[in-house]
Structure 1
Amino acid sequence: MDKEQMDFTDYTDPICPFCTDQFKKQAPVHPIPISRVLEKLDEHLGRNDYDSAEKHLLYWLGEAEDGRDKHGMLTIENELMGLYRKTNRKEPALDSLNKAVALIDELGIGQSAAAGTTYTNAATVYKAFSMPEKSMELFEKAIDIYEKTLSPDDSRLGGLYNNLGLTLTDLKRFDEAKAYYNKAIDVMKQNRYGELEIAITYLNLADLATAQFGAEESEKIVDEYIEKAYELLNKDYLPRNGYYAFVCEKCAPIFGYYGRFLYNKELSDRAREIYERN
């Protein structure tokens, strides 16, 4: 016998009409000081001090939870998933990812730029831990939101296009990946100090060409991408801050992979000097 379809009332407990609990006011929300939290986080990251960064974020996550500040919780979970991704900690990264995505629904902000950022960060985590299909699902959500809510020159859009290119490369959708990498470059050319992101994208294009055509056939175009990236990283006007050090550190081994051992050493030393100075 087929089970009858449950009525809505089957899912809910009856409420006593004389019970006043349902009319009690909820405790007020106490927002955490997001700007100050992120400023301090940048200080830790500028010293490459990931342990202190994690402790800092977990402390403020607890404060946001105690204060019923779901917007603050969303911001912190986004930062945590990025931190855990950088430090290659899969389980906590996925835990923060799931909590952040759930908060999007709880807050009812599924079409906001904040949701687009969360989906982008979550998709990047999935990509980092070799789950490109799941990554692609969230990137598609992020594109739909970002292209409706952001200006065409917004750096967040450039970051999305670049990271989407990585996932498409993993899925061997090479022509689509190249198109999105070029869109990322077009966006970042319109941003101050966008050279750092463009350098990263050129290195991603080098990896794409190698994956698509093989090392021998792609050698010439790879050399062009490598030299363009190195030239951009050496622009004198770029601030030598913690983020610059992070990019140099991230790019250095890629130069080494393609035989630019001096570039590798130079950028690694440069990053270390900045971290030590900070």
Structure 2
Amino acid sequence: MDMTIDEFYKQLSNVYETGSPEAVELYLNDRLKEASHGCDMCFEPMEITVSNELGSFYRGMGQFDKSAEFFEIAKRLVFVHIGDKTVQYATVLNNLAGTYRLAGKYEEAADLFNESALIYSTTIGKDNSYYCSILNNLALVYQDMKEYGKAEEMLTDALKSSRTLENSAMDVAITYSNLGALYLEMGDYTRAEEDLRESVDIYEQLDTNHQVHLASVYNSLGILYYKQSKLEEAKEAYQQALKLTLYHYGKNHEYEILCRNIAAIEEAVRNA
């Protein structure tokens, strides 16, 4: 097909900015039809790219079966045309594992994250953002499994590693966010707020396109303040998360949850 991958991402960004999940889904499926040749031996890099984006889109919409389906397509294409001992393959495994984690398939997710980490370490080493991402993702799985000690260890290692890398501000921000969310779940509200605020400070120094995960930080702050009965602060944090979610993802599953959380706070304030 004539469209370059850079052009694809530019158009995709414009479609996301419409705030319409239906438009994004239609755009991605149309691009996949254009890129697909209907045979495993006909290699089109755009097919891998679009399949990955569809996997991410459906994951954001909470449609985990569809998300896994498209990540599996990307995985098969990378395996056939690029190889299974490559950064590209490790990245697809990482993406698929992320979907399994959100779907509650923690053991499968941990296995894929560990496989991805091994490939990264034997191809590009451990001093890079890819490996830091895996440590963060493994920490999330361990947190889901209530293995808080392992989760904290992964995040501490990720923070140490990311601080030594060039242009690593976003990796550091993500790790602080995950540490804050971990401490929040553990009931350590002081450390949670410190790390979440540190994450916000770093994100706000980045341009808008690099703030895609900032919504989750504000969401965690909203939860933290709500647990402390600081309703106005909680509402403000949720509203920031809502605005960022709408900008980056449209009215997806997380957007609906945030709307309900804000409505619940407003009702609590009225009844106070």
TM-score by length of 1: 0.74
Change (3 A) 1:269 1:78: closer
Question: What 5-or-longer segments of structure 1 have no aligned partner?
Answer: 1-29
Higher helix share: 2
8 Å CA contact 1:77, 1:99 repeated in 2: yes
Question: After alignment, is 148-157 or 50-59 more displaced?
Answer: 148-157
Per-residue deviation, residues 119-152 of structure 1 (Å, max 9, x unmatched): 0000001111111111111111110111122254
Aligned residue for 1:146? 120
Change (3 A) 1:272 1:221: closer
Quick check: which has more Rg, 1 or 2?
1
Does 2:215 align with 1:249?
yes
Aligned-partner Cα distance in 1 for 2:146–2:66: 28
The aligned runs of 1:160-199 (5 Å cut-off) are 160-189=134-163, 190-192=165-167, 194-199=168-173
8 Å CA contact 1:155, 1:188 repeated in 2: yes
8 Å CA contact 2:200, 2:214 repeated in 1: no
Helix, strand or coil: the match of 1:66? coil
1:240 aligned to which of 204, 208, 211 = 208
Helix, strand or coil: the match of 1:258? helix
Question: What 5-or-longer segments of structure 2 have no aligned partner?
Answer: 226-232, 249-272
Per-residue deviation, residues 192-241 of structure 1 (Å, max 9, x unmatched): 2x434433322322332344xx42xx233223223322332333xx2133
Query: Residue type matched to 1:180 in 2?
Result: M
1:55 aligned to which of 19, 26, 32 = 26
Aligned-partner Cα distance in 1 for 2:245–2:87: 35
Aligned residue for 1:271? 244
TM-score by length of 2: 0.75
Query: Residue type matched to 1:149 in 2?
Result: T
Change (3 A) 1:274 1:52: closer
Identity %: 20
Helix, strand or coil: the match of 1:123? helix
The aligned runs of 1:71-220 (5 Å cut-off) are 71-107=45-81, 109-150=83-124, 152-189=126-163, 190-192=165-167, 194-211=168-185, 214-215=186-187, 218-220=188-190
Change (3 A) 1:209 1:114: same
Higher relative contact order (CA 8 A, sep 6+): 2
8 Å CA contact 2:19, 2:247 repeated in 1: no
1:266 positional shift: 6.2
Aligned residue for 2:266? none
Aligned residue for 2:36? 65
8 Å CA contact 1:70, 1:107 repeated in 2: no
